[in-house]
Chain A
Amino acid sequence: MKPKIDVDYVSTLAHLQLTEREKADFVPKLIKIVEWVGKLEELQSVDSGIEGFHSVPFSLPFRPDEIRGSFPAESALANAPERKKDFILVPKVIEEK
């Protein structure tokens, strides 16, 4: 299977912008990688009722449902690139018409 990558669409999904130069460099490399991972096509048996993998082959312990302390607002906000009082500042989310 010759992979087709619509790199503009994928980079929009990933919130990344590529310059023309980057595209010229990235796209062939990406296609090469995707072709290479296409090797998995050879493994026909993977479609016959095998489940996806779960990384934890043991039962997961639950923690007691107790209220615990959390970060004070000040330390949670300390790394904010822009802030106003106890809020993080971002550009307007809802745009006016």
Chain B
Amino acid sequence: MKVAVLFSGGKDSCLAMHKAEQEGNTVVCLISIISKNKESYMFHVPNIELTALQAKAIDIPILQVETVGEKEKELDDLKNAIAQAKEDMQIEGVVTGAVGSVYQASRVQKICDELELWCINPLWQMDQIELLNELLTEKFIVCITGIFGYPLDESWLGKTITKETIEKRAELQDKFKLNPAGEGGEIETTVFDGPIFYEKINPKKTSTEYDNHAGTLTIEEAELVPK
């Protein structure tokens, strides 16, 4: 079916898109909600503006919509964006990267139901370590661009997810009950390359903000380079 992907530019939306394509769906547009609220309940925040460049690299049109990020208003903005994609691109379904968040998944399910669209969650309930390993197997290049919570520190910012990073995350999961894929919001990621990319992202200038186990790596400038 023709689908739109709710696209944050992070690992979950990229892997969900890849799985949806592998199962025969055609992604005709990406939808990114740019929340002005840094603590949005629904939407991934760091480097969300980079989604326009990522969409170029993936070679699929993107619909970027700004929201002030108030709890229920951001859902109205999301619904309007999906409705626009249905009108303009004739989508039949929406793909999300939801893994375990019932808050996110049930709200998108309700919006899709109201708009008579299929709601597709290819990563739903997926084991977190399996998810990280699948990103590696599928050759996604995933950079950690946000950390939010003890014992994560500045050294994690800018790291690419590798076998070693996954092992370290698994250790922290056991010791500190951290969710290894960060879906609880402890880590945010930005994807630079992968099987859905025709070109890759090369970050040219970055800046870091960090204080007391909370920090972000902002990609100030980036370019597309051939793979």
Q: Are A and B interaction partners?
A: no
